[in-house]
Amino acid sequence: MARQPASVKPRSNGDMSSPLESLVLAGVVFVCLLLCATPSVAQGIVVVVNGQLITQNDVTNRLRLLALTNGGKAAPRETALDELIDERLKLQEARKLRITIDESQVDRAFASIAERTKLSVDQLRQALKSRGVNPSTLRDRLRGDIAWQLVVQQRGQRAINIRDQDIVDALKKRGQDPENIRSVEYTMAQIVVFSKGESPARRKEADAIRASVKSCDNLAEQLRRAREAAVRSTIRRSSADLPPPIRLVLEKTPINGSTEVQTSPLGYEFYMLCDKQEIPGRDAAQAQIRSELVELELEQASRRLLRDARQAAVIDNREK
């Protein structure tokens, strides 16, 4: 009598797998863990700053930007990394003070750089891309700088206290005679053409308004038909308080003349020079020294605030 083939029973869910199957399963799990459970490798995370990531792509783009701004000279990787860490900290400190930076503010800062380099915004973007620089890395840097300036103004100026004796000591240290120092006080009217972000049409309108305004007299009446323009304020500034580039512009501007149209946080603006008066030597010297001392203290406050932010931060360097 022929023997019947032995029947093969299907393995129940409760049966143990064979050693070979277990080995295969372990291999699959290992590969999955390697590829899926290490996001820092997969995403190229370099540093984590208080929970915020800095990726390899961020570092590469910043290195290219630094090389571009340094005339083609490569910057050390550590320089790019430090700048990115500081950038994250600056924005975090700004958020603590409820300081928010609108994209329109970054747009105008970006447009201002384009203007200074005699390029349109699109041309600046293309110039960056042609050098392998993502324009967003420049925008990120501008955003951090704008935010930090506001942080330093809020926190740093509280501690500034320039005494008269500080001014006297500074003059003695320099061996300067106050009577020989001359300064000029400028009276200016700020004219703003409001715009949300970059607008070639509004820029053209601002240029046309500047060409049409011939005097500081009755400025509001002269701007009556320009619905998006206004005289925002009248400003008095000593030449000692002004940065050298602005000082040079005003020295060459006649009374009732105007400065070139520039981008600003409000849109586009220019200044009418309404008057200029020489300030007596001693007053000019004091104003100049006071301005320099305030600027110095703000710089020191900026370094101190950033140092404190670094010391308090949790910075996880994944490369070490």
Answer with the one of 158, 175, 192 that is the final residue of a domain. 158
Indicate the number of domains in the chain: 2
**Domain containing residue 221:** 164-280
Q: What CATH number does the domain containing 173 carry? A: 3.10.50.40
Residue 260: inside a domain, yes or no? yes
| 259 against 199, higher pLDDT | 259
In this predicted structure, the answer to whether residue 227 has a pLDDT above a threshold of 90 is no
| 93 against 183, higher pLDDT | 93
155-196 tens-digit pLDDT: 877 666 777 677 777 777 777 666 666 678 899 999 999 887
Q: Tell me, what amino acid is at 140?
A: D
Same domain, 150 and 102: yes
Q: Which residue has the tokens 């700004």?
A: 94
Same domain, 63 and 144: yes
Answer with the one of 158, 186, 213 that is the final residue of a domain. 158
* Residues near 286 by beta carbon (within 8 Å), at least 6 away in sequence: 167, 178
Give the pLDDT of residue 13.
44
- Provide φ and ψ at 252, rounded to 5°: -95, -5
Same domain, 110 and 168: no
Spatial strand order in the sheet of 315-317: 52-55, 45-49, 315-317
- Provide φ and ψ at 9, rounded to 5°: -85, 135
Average pLDDT of the chain, as a whole number: 80
In this predicted structure, the answer to whether residue 10 has a pLDDT above a threshold of 80 is no
Q: At what angle do helices 281-312 and 164-174 cross, to 10 degrees?
A: 100
- In whole angstroms, what is the distance from residue 197 CA to residue 236 CA? 28
Give the pLDDT of residue 310.
95
Residue 210: inside a domain, yes or no? yes
Spatial strand order in the sheet of 183-194: 229-238, 183-194, 267-279, 262-264
Give the pLDDT of residue 2.
44
- pTM for the whole thing? 0.59
Q: At what angle do helices 135-156 and 121-130 cross, to 10 degrees?
A: 110
Answer with the one of 142, 158, 174 that is the final residue of a domain. 158
Q: What CATH number does the domain containing 51 carry? A: 1.10.4030.10
Residue 188: inside a domain, yes or no? yes
Residue 273: inside a domain, yes or no? yes
In this predicted structure, the answer to whether residue 14 has a pLDDT above a threshold of 80 is no
